[in-house]
Amino acid sequence: MNKPKVGIINVSGYTGVELARLLSQHPEVALTSVTGRSSAGKKLGEVFPHLADLALTIEPELGEVSFAFSAMPHKESAKEVIPLLSRGIKVVDLSADFRLKDAAEYPAWYGFTHPEPQLLSQAVYGLPELYRREIAAAQLVANPGCYPTGAILALAPAVKAGIIEPEIIIDSKSGASGAGRTLSLPTHFAEANEDASAYALDGHRHLAEITQELRLFRPQLPAAVTFVPHLIPMTRGILTTGYAHLASGRIASGSRGSGEVFQLYQDFYRDEPFVRVVAHPPHTKHTWGANTCFIHPTLDLRTGRLIVISAIDNLVKGAAGQAVQNMNLMLGLHEPTGLGAAAIYP
Amino acid sequence: MNKPKVGIINVSGYTGVELARLLSQHPEVALTSVTGRSSAGKKLGEVFPHLADLALTIEPELGEVSFAFSAMPHKESAKEVIPLLSRGIKVVDLSADFRLKDAAEYPAWYGFTHPEPQLLSQAVYGLPELYRREIAAAQLVANPGCYPTGAILALAPAVKAGIIEPEIIIDSKSGASGAGRTLSLPTHFAEANEDASAYALDGHRHLAEITQELRLFRPQLPAAVTFVPHLIPMTRGILTTGYAHLASGRIASGSRGSGEVFQLYQDFYRDEPFVRVVAHPPHTKHTWGANTCFIHPTLDLRTGRLIVISAIDNLVKGAAGQAVQNMNLMLGLHEPTGLGAAAIYP
Amino acid sequence: MNKPKVGIINVSGYTGVELARLLSQHPEVALTSVTGRSSAGKKLGEVFPHLADLALTIEPELGEVSFAFSAMPHKESAKEVIPLLSRGIKVVDLSADFRLKDAAEYPAWYGFTHPEPQLLSQAVYGLPELYRREIAAAQLVANPGCYPTGAILALAPAVKAGIIEPEIIIDSKSGASGAGRTLSLPTHFAEANEDASAYALDGHRHLAEITQELRLFRPQLPAAVTFVPHLIPMTRGILTTGYAHLASGRIASGSRGSGEVFQLYQDFYRDEPFVRVVAHPPHTKHTWGANTCFIHPTLDLRTGRLIVISAIDNLVKGAAGQAVQNMNLMLGLHEPTGLGAAAIYP
Amino acid sequence: MNKPKVGIINVSGYTGVELARLLSQHPEVALTSVTGRSSAGKKLGEVFPHLADLALTIEPELGEVSFAFSAMPHKESAKEVIPLLSRGIKVVDLSADFRLKDAAEYPAWYGFTHPEPQLLSQAVYGLPELYRREIAAAQLVANPGCYPTGAILALAPAVKAGIIEPEIIIDSKSGASGAGRTLSLPTHFAEANEDASAYALDGHRHLAEITQELRLFRPQLPAAVTFVPHLIPMTRGILTTGYAHLASGRIASGSRGSGEVFQLYQDFYRDEPFVRVVAHPPHTKHTWGANTCFIHPTLDLRTGRLIVISAIDNLVKGAAGQAVQNMNLMLGLHEPTGLGAAAIYP
């Protein structure tokens, strides 16, 4: 009984190497091929000593696999993925190249014209909590961005149930690994340490995903989401705080309303293996290295606002872990396979 | 020509020791007395080696001074301050004990009945950018909280000008020194490092100050401020992101509106020595150790919202530096005296 | 086929909770009982949300188990362990209470008289790389300290082979979790962050273990080990740098000597599942959450000194991981069972 | 009475910008010109917002000054400095280009042939605690490296007094700002955070300086200094731990010897404005932003070794602060002028 062979395109960034870590522990698939450009020819363990037990050599081109992950940057990823699809290979693309349904969004947000717009409707947005069935049937899954994962999971129950006004504010705080392994001044240690700052105030690319997904629940949702990402001095983790006014007449006032909201969230995520609705504000630390998303919904009783907070590890549930979760669904495996490890605390 | 003698009650916490640092460099006053309980009898330099040059011994009681800072915790601070006032000593109180005008707020927010409610109307809220003249004439100044300093400075121009709806969301990110030198699990290194979390979702005490001050500009402002503080893994710094919808018809739409808002903020803070309205999102790092507050107002053109970000050092402009600024005003000194040092970067 | 039931005494410190994490993933044993004092009665997931999947309640007393880990502090641990032994339960004690062979060392280093000195000769020092066979046969294993693990593994090959003079300097740098979950000023975030310091210059307790073990290879080794631990601002990890002069005539001079030393270390650790002799200075980051110890031996050609560097995760190979490794040996399981997870990087 | 005009060549690195900060607060000189390559033409406050009050524009070439600091990288610095000298300008060079007395060392350690070897004997090594008189008379001062400053100050009293054997081990732990503002993988936030590692095991360039200076006290000192630098996750600070065996018969044994060593260090640094011999192991945190060097000498009574620990801020006493201290001496100013600010704690 042969395990499916899987490969990673561009193992040398943080999402790529995190995929390699998770797949190395996966009991039902075999990671047999990893590619990289600058590091092609090296052993994986030379570049990443923690993965030395994986006796893999970084290759210039993907070997024979039946399942592939692309951890290439946007625009380049589509070029790698399209040929694989025509060879019948199933793919989870961790870039943004197949996340947006409307091809016109690509020039606006990403500065390029999509090479195969017709694929956008075939690709499934890889948030299993929303699209489990579609993912299981897909050949191509577009793995969500790290911020959208935390934001959509935090807000979907409220938006779907129509309990909030469509005026939503999303304030996210991310560790520096979200910016990748490519060097930059803002992620230079002496700059990022002991610092907090906001960025992309004129519109972060992930806003396109967030709006697209939330609108599916309420097509009339106007362009009323404000999303401000912040860089804070930690390596992993995204904490997202969402704010929205309660729609009138849907939720009881006072603390009874808090209970109703909590119940609504619990019901929404009742059988989810990786989402936990919790009674206290969550800590990103409790997700470190794990595929968990903690969500804490509550009401600001003074103002009648919903405050909802989510915590994820940006490289796991926000990237590589969710990609493996999608792979499990696409291969018909038990969804949590290989993703059972608890977070590492402290 | 004798310099005024000043003293610090409770030098052994972070705001107290930061006051000692700033006063040690102040050319127009002499720090002659510092008190502390557990450390009474020790030389200041034993407890705080960086201040060994200050040849002071920590005393159980304040010595003969004409100006005093109280860095005691709330409730206890009032007890220390009230006797000083009757002896004619000018006081900056860094606790919350004289910040709120309405005595009824103390039981609600701080759990005690105010011992001398009539003093609340005499005390001046020590935000020089709003109350410079009153501070100069006051005997008792209530130094603002760290979060309120960043939040009020960020929002006052917009609220006063009436350009925003009174529905305001304030999302603050603070370093751990804001929680003080008293040990606690959330500020234990292994817990706070590599972690981000929200707290006090049912209402942080500083909300009372923020609401009180913003309402002075718009008495009709309903209780519509949501304030969520977050703890992030750094020692110093508060980054505050404020969100509010533009009031209709006050500001031009589009990028022209952004320019108008920027101009409004620049005008508001034109001659302020410690506030800088900047064209880019500020970094708390650029305030490290300095009394500066950076403010960046901008419009989210997609939603018509004001986003305004402020950055301060919570122990300087958010506490000890602002207290010295207030002292300068109360003593008739040039306001920036002793506060000219640039931030330490990186 | 029932899995052995195992328990943890004092799950509420960092070594205890790390044991719970590792045992929760162990396929061959069942963690059925965890104790704690202040938190008795609470669900484990209330105190440690990352372990909520473990449906365990913290108990005041250990339940029915056939294998126990004690994560109690020294002196108190012996009191818990001794009764278990008489009931035939196998025990790994993570405290220092059975590490030292000479009972006279306890008053000197730990300030108490050992309650059952005769057990000291029965207890096995739980460093599998040195005592694998004895551990497999033991009822009581004394799990090594975190510093000794890194230091002894780094120096054992050189000491045993007699290639160095017995004048050894060990300079260790530890993350703050090594000091435990108990609050203290040196591990208060604002104190420990952006700080480095040495401590215990008059003799850290772990020196007793280090000397005891290194002397077993060379009984004539005089008391010539200097060990200085340092606290640095990270959560996990110990980097140990050892220095010793080469004994004359044992190793070739120049870079040929470097090769010989490297070979000697490789041979010493050839079949070890958790020790990797590497050609570059190791990073603690590459051990984060894993039971790996990286060792890099090299020669300072200018001075004829051996420099050897080891990196471990203080809570895994330096505590809980090694304890599970010992348990595997004591239960006749495959040694790496449950410890195969790669480090989490970055 | 005109203040001397001073300039900074290459203000855009961390030592350059720290010079600008310190000079902006200096009451006796006027910083009138700063240069930079990539940032030429920009206002200083655009690149470094904390220095916006300094109304300076970054220039391609140095303006008219009577005193210059070069913060260029090695090899390039000499090219900038040599023409200034012939114009009679006094210079503190913060690079390594004039630190080594023996021109033959440059090809060996820095990979280039020195362009003007005869200047090496004229340049004074800018450690005021050792060369105060020579610095005051010099036109060209070579500012010491950051590691050598901490290491030489820690060891000079013992080496000069001949109380230790010439077998010295120096283990240093540095924050990431020591590696500069130039991007590199080891100083990428996600790599450096939560990590400790040693580097340059085959000989760090600063060893040449350390050995040169220590030998001046004991010309017979063989090449017996081992120096291992470590990178730890903080922005500023170097903690250096030095180890050496006591020479026989010079110091009493036991704790009396500790007292003698402490006294010897106190005498050596008695009137030094920036060196403090302290009775407890120092913390780098207590030097943050200040020109202080703390030194703690003690004996390891078990082994008869001297352990001496020094703490500095690598960018102040280890670079820019020491450079200003040298400038003060060269200009006949009071040595601590402009350097009186206490460290910023916490």
Q: What is the pLDDT of residues B277-326, one digit of tens each?
A: 999 999 999 999 999 999 999 999 999 999 999 999 999 999 999 999 99
Say if the Cβ atoms of D232 and C233 lie within 8 Å. yes
Using CA coordinates, name the residue in chain D closest to B233.
Answer: D193
CA angle C144, C186, B199 (to 5 degrees): 105
Our CA-based measurement puts residue B339 at a distance from the nearest CA of chain C, in whole angstroms, of: 23
pLDDT at residue D132 greater than cutoff 80: yes
C13 and C82 share one domain: yes
pLDDT < 50 stretches in chain C = none
Question: 3-class SS at A53?
Answer: coil
Our CA-based measurement puts residue A31 at a distance from the nearest CA of chain C, in whole angstroms, of: 14
Neighboring chain A residues of C17 at a CB cutoff of 8 Å: 345
CA angle A294, A295, A297 (to 5 degrees): 160
C154 and C114 share one domain: no
Say if the Cβ atoms of B25 and D177 lie within 8 Å. no
Tokens standing for residue D215: 């030998």
**Could you please report the per-residue DSSP string of C112-130?**
S--S-TTHHHHSEE--HHH
What is the average per-residue pLDDT within D155-174? 95
Say if the Cβ atoms of D283 and C195 lie within 8 Å. yes
What is the model's pLDDT at position A86? 95
Q: Is B195 on the interface with D (CB under 8 A)?
A: no
Our CA-based measurement puts residue B237 at a distance from the nearest CA of chain D, in whole angstroms, of: 12
- State the chains in contact with A (3 or more Cβ–Cβ pairs under 8 Å): B, C, D
Return the number of other C-beta atoms located less than 10 Å from residue A164's C-beta: 24
Q: Is B259 on the interface with D (CB under 8 A)?
A: no
Q: Is D288 on the interface with B (CB under 8 A)?
A: yes
B295-331 burial: b if 16+ Cβ within 10 Å, else e: bbbbbbebbbbbbbbbbbbbbbbbbbbbbbbbbbbbb
The sign of the torsion formed by the CA atoms of B110, B115, B120, B124 equals negative
Reported as a single tens digit per residue, the pLDDT across C34-53 is: 999 889 999 999 999 999 99
What is the model's pLDDT at position C218? 83
C167 and C301 share one domain: yes
What is the average per-residue pLDDT within D241-266? 94
Q: Using a cut of 0.90, tell me whether the model's pTM lies above it.
A: yes
The active-site residue out of D51, D120, D123, D146 is: D146
Our CA-based measurement puts residue D300 at a distance from the nearest CA of chain C, in whole angstroms, of: 7
Please give the mean pLDDT across all residues of chain B: 96
- Rounded CA-CA distance B314/B323 in Å is 12
What is the model's pLDDT at position C38? 87
What is the model's pLDDT at position C23? 98
Name the residue with higher pLDDT: B254 or D178. D178
> What is the CATH classification number for the domain harbouring C197?
3.30.360.10
Reported as a single tens digit per residue, the pLDDT across A168-183 is: 999 999 999 999 999 9
Q: Which of A52, A235, A346 sits opposite C346 (nearest CB)?
A: A235
What is the model's pLDDT at position A253? 82
Our CA-based measurement puts residue D344 at a distance from the nearest CA of chain B, in whole angstroms, of: 7
Q: Exposed, middle or buried, C241 (CB in 10 Å: 0-12/13-18/19+)? A: buried
Q: Which of D14, D52, D345 sits opposite B50 (nearest CB)?
A: D345
> What is the CATH classification number for the domain harbouring D102?
3.40.50.720
Q: Is A202 on the interface with B (CB under 8 A)?
A: yes
D204 and D283 share one domain: yes
Our CA-based measurement puts residue A234 at a distance from the nearest CA of chain B, in whole angstroms, of: 5
Residue A105 belongs to domain spanning: 5-122
A264, part of any domain: yes
What is the model's pLDDT at position C225? 95
- Rounded CA-CA distance C160/D154 in Å is 34
What is the model's pLDDT at position D262? 98
C345, part of any domain: no
C179 and C261 share one domain: yes
A343, part of any domain: no
pLDDT at residue A223 greater than cutoff 70: no
Q: Tell me whether residue B146 is one of the annotated catalytic residues.
A: yes
Reported as a single tens digit per residue, the pLDDT across D195-234 is: 999 999 999 999 999 999 999 988 776 668 999 999 999 9
Q: Is A256 on the interface with D (CB under 8 A)?
A: no
Using CA coordinates, name the residue in chain B closest to D289.
Answer: B344
Structural element, H or E, at residue A6: strand A5-9
Please give the mean pLDDT across all residues of chain D: 96
What is the model's pLDDT at position B217? 87
C133, part of any domain: no
Q: Is A187 on the interface with D (CB under 8 A)?
A: yes
Instruction: Provide the annotated active-site residues of A.
Output: 146
Interface contacts C/D by beta carbons within 8 Å = 158
Say if the Cβ atoms of C49 and A278 lie within 8 Å. yes
- Alpha carbon D4 to chain centroid distance? 24
D160 and D293 share one domain: yes
B282, part of any domain: yes
What is the model's pLDDT at position C224? 87
B39 and B156 share one domain: no
Q: Which of A167, A173, A175 sits opposite B230 (nearest CB)?
A: A173
Q: Where are the alpha helices (DSSP H) in chain B?
A: 14-24, 44-47, 76-86, 105, 119-122, 128-137, 146-161, 189-192, 206-217, 254-268, 321-330
- 156-175 in D: which are within 8 Å (CB) of C? 167, 169, 171, 173, 175
Q: For residues D192 and D225, is the Cβ–Cβ distance under 8 A?
A: no
**How many domains does the structure of chain A reveal?**
2
Least confident of A269-273, B212-216, D78-82: B212-216
Proportion of chain A above pLDDT 90, given as a percent? 95
ipTM above 0.90, yes or no: yes
- State the chains in contact with D (3 or more Cβ–Cβ pairs under 8 Å): A, B, C
Q: For residues B319 and B206, is the Cβ–Cβ distance under 8 A?
A: no
B221 and B101 share one domain: no
D327, part of any domain: no
Our CA-based measurement puts residue A46 at a distance from the nearest CA of chain C, in whole angstroms, of: 10
C94 and C171 share one domain: no
Reported as a single tens digit per residue, the pLDDT across B62-86 is: 999 999 999 999 999 999 999 999 9
Using CA coordinates, name the residue in chain D closest to A194.
Answer: D235
Interface contacts B/D by beta carbons within 8 Å = 76
Q: Is B187 on the interface with D (CB under 8 A)?
A: no
Say if the Cβ atoms of A189 and D194 lie within 8 Å. no
B159 and B95 share one domain: no
* The last residue of a domain, from among A88, A122, A156: A122
Q: Which amino acid is at A189?
A: F
**Among the listed residues C237, B186, D184, B285, the one whose alpha carbon sits nearest the alpha carbon of residue A193:** B285
CA angle C50, C55, C56 (to 5 degrees): 95
- Rounded CA-CA distance B153/C173 in Å is 43
- Rounded CA-CA distance A328/C251 in Å is 54
Number of alpha carbons in the 13 Å side-chain half-sphere of residue D104: 1
Tokens standing for residue C47: 């105190």
Q: Is B289 on the interface with A (CB under 8 A)?
A: no
Q: For residues B299 and B306, is the Cβ–Cβ distance under 8 A?
A: yes
Neighboring chain C residues of D285 at a CB cutoff of 8 Å: 191, 194-195, 197
Structural element, H or E, at residue C76: helix C76-86
What is the model's pLDDT at position D223? 60
Instruction: Provide the annotated active-site residues of C.
Output: 146
Residue B224 banded pLDDT, cuts 50, 70, 90: confident
What is the model's pLDDT at position D253? 82
Neighboring chain D residues of B341 at a CB cutoff of 8 Å: 25, 341
Q: Exposed, middle or buried, B141 (CB in 10 Å: 0-12/13-18/19+)? A: buried
C308 and C206 share one domain: yes
Q: Which of C25, C52, C193 sits opposite A341 (nearest CB)?
A: C25
Using CA coordinates, name the residue in chain A closest to C51.
Answer: A342
Q: Is C178 on the interface with A (CB under 8 A)?
A: no
C165 and C108 share one domain: no
D128, part of any domain: no
Our CA-based measurement puts residue B42 at a distance from the nearest CA of chain A, in whole angstroms, of: 31
Reported as a single tens digit per residue, the pLDDT across A20-31 is: 999 999 999 999
Say if the Cβ atoms of B283 and A230 lie within 8 Å. no
Q: Is D122 on the interface with A (CB under 8 A)?
A: no
Q: Exposed, middle or buried, D62 (CB in 10 Å: 0-12/13-18/19+)? A: buried
Q: Is B241 on the interface with A (CB under 8 A)?
A: yes
Using CA coordinates, name the residue in chain B closest to C346.
Answer: B194
Reported as a single tens digit per residue, the pLDDT across A1-18 is: 689 999 999 999 999 999
A19, part of any domain: yes
Reported as a single tens digit per residue, the pLDDT across D187-201 is: 999 999 999 999 999
Tokens standing for residue D109: 């350690």
Q: Is D147 on the interface with C (CB under 8 A)?
A: no
What is the model's pLDDT at position B1? 63
Q: Is C193 on the interface with B (CB under 8 A)?
A: yes
Structural element, H or E, at residue C99: none
Cα B101 to Cα A115, B318, D43: the distances in Å are 64, 20, 44
What is the model's pLDDT at position D222? 64
Q: Which of D177, D286, D346 sits opposite B177 (nearest CB)?
A: D346
pLDDT at residue A204 greater than cutoff 80: yes
